Amino acid sequence: MKKILNNPADYVDEMLDGLVAAHPESYRRLGETGRVIARAGGPVQGKVGIVSGGGSGHLPTFTGYVGPGLLDACSIGNVFAGPSVGDCVDAMRAADGGAGVLRLYGNYGGDRMNFDMAGEMLEMEGMETTSVLVADDVASAGPEERAKRRGVAGLIYAYKIAGAMADRPGATLGEVTAAARKAVSATASIGVALTPCIVPESGRPTFSIADDEMEMGMGIHGEPGIWRGPLRRADEIAGEMLDRLLADTGIGRGERVSVLVNSLGATPHEELYILYRHLSRRLADAGVAVAVPLVGRYATSMEMAGASLTLLRLDEELEALLRAPASCPFWSM
């Protein structure tokens, strides 16, 4: 595989330079190390701030979703490596409008440790903070161990729901936190990988897989999935992913869901729409209505080929929050 880069050690910082240069109306780069992206206009006074963060290599997750109706700031680490404690502190300060700050991030050990430490440090200074972990990957743990699941593309729904609640006049930190938790509880995801990606600093594939193979349930960093075998037809792949999510969630006739069909990086929109074609028909046959379908690159893994499927079980409140206005270079509604 080939990459367009200069020095691998400068990969993330040069990417952040370019991101801010391309979208100066949306983003500014902050922090002692320059590893914080925040809203260009600064924190909104009187509004609950929302911060996230994680390793680079997943654009538009994480930094891409900073904007009105979404995140207020984000800290970023090296490729597939979590942000430092100092970067998490800087992001929280950048998001603080005086109404408290929600830490909203994926369920990974390093991110948990560093965001928790940052929260404790700022709470000692008087900042009110809460934390919500996104744990939506059904392939990584069963329903009885939901708290052990990895956070994957379900992050996008959590950002959107929490961000919309935070934009409501007078919304409290408790209300924004409750909305984020409700979104996480209503979300389930599963992925399928066809090829690995290469981390610039190492120059090696994250895993090996034969040209005629696929792996169901693989994580976005190459974590082991459920099974590996010959590449299947698109309808079979979509059908198994949907079957696993419906079995896990119990979603059934008469319910409404939002569907996110996400490229892991290299898989083109054409193939995503082939998957969505089958999914929409299956859900219609099952009596499940689809609202606000999302198809595209929302949470990637460098140039990995593959896709993920996420279902968000909707009620009246969640659907209203999902449809609320939001804006960033990677989202418009």
213-260 confidence digits (pLDDT tens): 999 999 888 889 999 999 999 999 999 999 999 999 999 999 999 999
- Domains along the chain? 8-186+323-332 (3.40.50.10440), 187-315 (3.30.1180.20)
pLDDT for residue 257: 98
The amino acid at residue 324 is A
Q: Which of 188, 184, 307, 192 is nearest to 248 (CA)?
A: 188
pLDDT of residue 1: 67
Please tell me the distance from the alpha carbon of residue 39 to that of residue 25, in angstroms, as a whole number.
9
Two tokens, residue 295: 């198809």
Strand partners, 54: 76
Point out the residues of the chain with pLDDT beneath 70. 1
Write out the DSSP string of 93-151: HHH--SS-EEEEEES-HHHHHHHHHHHHHHHHTT--EEEEEE--BTTSS-GGGGGGPPP
**Nearest-angstrom CA–CA distance, 96 and 239:** 44
pTM, entire model: 0.96
* Structural element, H or E, at residue 36: strand 36-39
CB 20 within 8 A of CB 66: no
pLDDT computed for residue 255 by the predictor: 98
With beta carbons less than 8 A apart as the criterion, state whether 105 and 133 touch: yes
Phi, psi angle pair for 112, to nearest 5°: -60, -50
Residue with tokens 């609202």: 291
Q: Supply the residues annotated as catalytic.
A: 58, 221
Distance, C-alpha 204 to centroid of its chain? 24
Any idea which residue has 């140039």 for tokens?
A: 303
